[in-house]
Chains A and B, each alone.
Chain A
Amino acid sequence: MFGGAVVLVMGALGLRLFDLQVARGSYYTGLSDAQRTSTQPIKTSRGLIYDRKGRLLADNVPTFAVKIRPADLAAAQRPDVVARLAELLDLTPESIIETLDRNAASTFDLVRIASDIPTETARVIAQEHLQLPGVYVDVEARRDYLYGPLVSHLLGFTGAISADQYEGLKPQGYLNDDVIGKAGVELTFERELRGTYGIEEIEQDAQGRTVRVLRTAQAPAEGNSLELTVDVETQRTAEKALRWAMNLVGLKRGVFLVMNPQTGEILAMVSLPSYDNNLFAKGISNADYQKLLKDPDHPLHNFAVNDQFPPGSTYKLVTGSGGLEDGKITAQSRIQTRAYLTIGRYRYYDWNHAGFGNITIYDGFAHSSDTFFFQVAGRLGIDRLAYWAHQWGFGEKTGIDLPAEASGIIPTNQWKEEVFNGQPIYPGEVYQAGIGQGYDMVTPLQLINAYSALANGGTLYRPQIVRRVLGPDGTVVKDFQPDPIRQLPMSQETLRTMRVAARHVPTSRHTYNLVDLPIVMAGKSGTAEFGVRDKKGRLPFHSWFVGFTPKNAAKSASDPNGYEAVKRTDSELAFLAFAFDSRTKGNAATEIVKYFLQLYYHTNVDLRINSLLVRDNFYGN
């Protein structure tokens, strides 16, 4: 009977074994293969960023980041783990809990708690992993911006992907704990820089740990690198010139731009105040971030692109060229300038309350006669003025590959009626529009782009910030060619006249000793009033200078005034200085440009006039 029990038991077990292993063996084999394998992304390194001379601007450095996988952290243990982590990372427990609670992704996705933590802290966390379930220390690459604030407005920065961004970008392979470009070319060229994450099939154990990699389902592709159009040395020179005047006067904000008119390439773009983008790459603290956001001078703002200002007299390029092209004036025709013009009971004063007499456009432009250009604007009318402004690229985005570009404002009759409840434009406002005041608003970038078109013979290019995209192996993936927006619909004669007029600006000594530089340069200064009048009825103002130098700019004996040089269209250097709220005795921007040109061309003379850079609410050029 006991023997029967033995047979019974063995028989039952044997039958079940047969069922499991023979009858349903293939079913279980399938289960066994399926549960062991999973896929995981293979991260790849972000492309680097170089300047046009191949100097490395943005590098990747390995750092430690702390992440939590919520699924691995039991609710009961959370307070202890969070408290300990907060202590180690010098954060508040509340902020960690907030980060965890804000996580909209799956609880199996890693949530970034801290980036770029010290090696010592990483070691302690790794050692305490038994007490810190669900906490992971990741080695990851973060950005190192080698020039920091010097080019931060161009490069931008990377940061942790936000919940909203992750929702939208998940299908493209972004991870919950990913970093993403947040500003500058890091943002606009994110697609190139990021590369493509790979996918590998892995074998996992019961705890979800990777046992081994089975195969690479999709090889990762490293991100492409960018070669900017900017030359760091030029950038440094521009910043030096700008900073010199700003420090001397005590200015808060300023812009300096350098561009190659033949291509539209940006050679330097300085916007002050600036910020250190390394703060962001390292994971900026909330306190530091708030400080940047609340700074009254907006260091995160790239004033060259993101903001718009009245262009002042630099805008007389539009009025003058429009008047010439529409036949309202000729290069030889003279206009009587006065102390002021009268419309009804309003007087429209020239900055020079004596007037300049009966003059041509050369003198009108050189001395920046307001009453001259009031009259030209009046003859053109607001809509023709706006037409020419648009041809020069004002009132529309240039299309540069930088985020949040402002488009400026060019008033027309229709615009005035739409914005001001059906009010038409008044004749006095047409006058104001003709000298870059009133409703006119431009970005510094639009302004230098217009003068570049003047310098190159009338081709308005899309300003470019990236020159080439390079593959991980250094091959050229994309070589950006000059990208014309349009050929200005005006004659070469008009453009030549305006260039010569721009050369008259220094030669007339309107800009003091600027003409004494050993190089030929042309351009236009501007003063733009804004804001609220002071007790004496004076407005604060910005000062501008925008201009260009011909190729082979050294002065020659055969062309002592440089008029012949500026008739050429071979200029490879346009520049713009903008001094926000300058209120100086002389035009601060002109002094900045002068200093820049001295540095850029290594002139042996120093013509800077510090006495012009004294606060004194002078305005008028």
Chain B
Amino acid sequence: MGTLRLQPARVGAFTSKAVSNLWSVFDVQLAFYALGLTVIGLLLAYTNSAAAPLASGSVFGRALMWLALGIMAFTLAASIDYRWFRSFAWPIYFVNIGLLGVTLAIGSGVGGASRWVSIMGLQFQFSELAKIVMAIVIARFLTSRGERVGNLWTILGAGLIVAPPLALVLIQPDLGSSLVFGAIVFGALFVSGASIRWLAVVVVAGLASIPFVWNNVLADYQRLRLIRLLDPSSDTQGSLYQVTQSQIAVGSGGLFGKGLTNGAISDRYLPVNTTDFAYASLGEQLGFLGSILVLVLFGALIWRVLLIGWRSKDPFGLAFAAGIASMLLFQVLVNVGMVIGLMPVTGIPLPFITHGGASLISIAFALGVLQSINMRQDRPNW
């Protein structure tokens, strides 16, 4: 770990003139794709609170509120010079670990878990924010490695950094989120030039540790879900129920879908249709075309994120972008894969689509940081 070193901020960046100049290189595409996904998410929130979408406290009402907070987070993050985050990465890291500790201590969740903390009556999952913090910290770490990024110590150091928050999330217990941490770190290492050979060794070691993880880390319900995924012939009313129902919902959507508000299966058979299985609801209502549209938007968004990283001349920018892109890709793969029966059931939300405040605000914040990175590069005029 490097020593805490304050870098001189460019005071001029905060003058109005400079800011307006900066916004002229705002990545409109990034914002457009993100907004497109958010609108689809809102649409689902509206149809899933069909009884009284405009009543206070409805899924739709809360989604609107989260959107407003997300736009604020995005604007704020974009306005701040990303280098401040780089500078304050370590303090932020420790605050983050503290918040995760608090979540464990006072948090609540379903079935004895403690995954979220209630703030003014709203549930907030700090593990969502912790993902972004992880991307910042790992990017900061990789920046500090400089020329030594290719040796084994980079990978071991990254492992040491990710271990504490990962462990705190894992014992909530939230296997899904802890896997996302892994994805962020892996993506950042991969793109930043870490040794592919040693990464491969880590992956192999990870696979080799599966029996140990199986026996000592995984909770019973998690083991059960994995077994069920491998053997789908088990009864449909049991643990596999959601997966089966989810596939029926998506499959019955057909090419064009049943139309908005007609999500009969996802509405009544999937108890978590507004959260983890929101994509199933989307697939049923909007069909193949709608489902593919969402995947295309995600693909484009991830592409823009990576592009910002590659354009950035700062290794921090590249590593952070890679971490976020990797996170997005991983979450899409796991969540959509779960909905359509390719992945085991894990509580990983689908960014923008799953209705959850922490997820949306965190991702908006991350995109804001990316915009900040994008706007604050010396670039040729292209």
Contacts and interface: CB of A to CB of B under 8 A. Distances in A.
Interface string A201-219: 0010110000100000000
B252 A22 contact: no
Most chain B CB within a 10 A radius of its CB, from A18, A21, A29: A21
B336 interface: yes
A511 to B, nearest CB: 79
B241 interface: yes
A32 B252 contact: yes
B295 A10 contact: yes
A7 B299 CA distance: 7
A13 B329 CA distance: 11
Contacts of B253: 21, 25
B245 A206 contact: yes
A2 B191 contact: yes
A10 B299 contact: yes
A501 to B, nearest CB: 81
Contacts of A13: 295, 332-333, 336-337, 340, 342
Contacts of A7: 299
Given A10-B295, A16-B340, A22 B254 contact: yes
Given A3-B306, A14-B292, A22-B288, A9 B329 contact: yes
A13 B250 CA distance: 13
A35 B244 CA distance: 12
Interface string A190-207: 000000000000010110
A16 B246 CA distance: 13
A27 interface: yes
A404 to B, nearest CB: 48
Given A13-B336, A17-B288, A22-B255, A32 B250 contact: no
B264 A25 contact: no
B250 A21 contact: yes
Size class of B's contact patch? 35 or more
Contacts of A17: 250, 283, 288, 291-292, 295, 340
A565 B115 CA distance: 100
A20 B255 CA distance: 10
A406 to B, nearest CB: 55
A27 B254 CA distance: 10
B299 A6 contact: yes
Contacts of B241: 206
A31 B287 contact: no
Interface string A18-38: 101110111111011101100
Contacts of A20: 247, 250-251, 283, 340-341
B322 A2 contact: yes
Interface stretch (B64-72, B204-212, B265-273, B355-363): B265-273
A5 interface: yes
Interface string B264-298: 11001101000000000001000110011001101
A499 to B, nearest CB: 78
Contacts of B269: 35-36, 205-206
A10 to B, nearest CB: 5
B349 to A, nearest CB: 16
Given A35-B248, A36-B268, A211-B268, A16 B292 contact: no
A36 B268 CA distance: 9
Contacts of B287: 21
A12 interface: yes
A206 B264 contact: no
Contacts of A12: 342
Nearest to B309: A2
A203 B264 CA distance: 10
A17 B282 CA distance: 12
A497 to B, nearest CB: 82
B51 to A, nearest CB: 13
Most chain B CB within a 10 A radius of its CB, from A5, A9, A20, A22: A20
A29 B283 contact: no
A319 to B, nearest CB: 77
Nearest to A212: B268
A3 B304 CA distance: 11
B302 interface: yes
Nearest to A33: B252
Contacts of B295: 10, 13-14, 17
Contacts of B283: 17, 20-21
A32 B247 contact: no
Interface in A368-399: none
Contact of A25 (B245, B255, B292): B255
B187 interface: yes
Interface string B309-349: 00000000000001001100100110011001110000000
B190 interface: yes
Most chain B CB within a 10 A radius of its CB, from A17, A24, A31: A17
A405 B370 CA distance: 95
Contact of A32 (B187, B249, B291): B249
Contact of B264 (A1, A27, A32): A32
Contacts of A6: 299, 302-303, 306, 325, 329
Contacts of A203: 264, 268
A5 B329 CA distance: 9
Contacts of B265: 32, 36
A245 B315 CA distance: 116
B288 A206 contact: no
A31 B337 contact: no
A205 B241 CA distance: 13
Contacts of A31: 248, 251-252
Nearest to A12: B342
B288 A21 contact: yes
Contacts of B268: 36, 203, 205-206, 211
Contacts of B340: 13, 16-17, 20
A9 B264 CA distance: 29
Contacts of A22: 254-255, 288
Contacts of A206: 241, 245, 268-269, 271
Contact of A2 (B271, B325, B332, B333): B325
Interface string B354-376: 00000000000000000000000
B252 A28 contact: yes
B267 to A, nearest CB: 9
A17 B247 CA distance: 10
Contacts of B249: 32
A28 B264 contact: no
A28 B245 contact: no
Interface in A449-492: none
A21 B283 CA distance: 8
Nearest to A29: B252
B288 A10 contact: no
Contacts of A18: 288
Contacts of B271: 206
A36 B241 CA distance: 14
B34 to A, nearest CB: 16
Contacts of A3: 303, 306
Given A14-B295, A205-B268, A28 B342 contact: no
Most chain B CB within a 10 A radius of its CB, from A5, A7, A205: A5
A10 B250 contact: no
Nearest to A206: B269
Contacts of B303: 3, 6
Nearest to A13: B336
13 contacts: A2-B191, A2-B322, A6-B303, A10-B298, A13-B336, A17-B283, A20-B251, A28-B248, A31-B252, A32-B251, A32-B265, A205-B268, A206-B268
Given A6-B303, A22-B255, 6 more contacts: A2-B190, A12-B342, A13-B336, A13-B337, A20-B251, A28-B252
Which 10 pairs of residues, A with B, have the shortest CB-CB distance?
A28-B251, A32-B252, A25-B254, A21-B288, A205-B268, A29-B252, A20-B251, A28-B252, A10-B299, A9-B333
Interface of B: 187, 190-191, 241, 245, 247-255, 264-265, 268-269, 271, 283, 287-288, 291-292, 295-296, 298-299, 302-303, 306, 322, 325-326, 329, 332-333, 336-337, 340-342
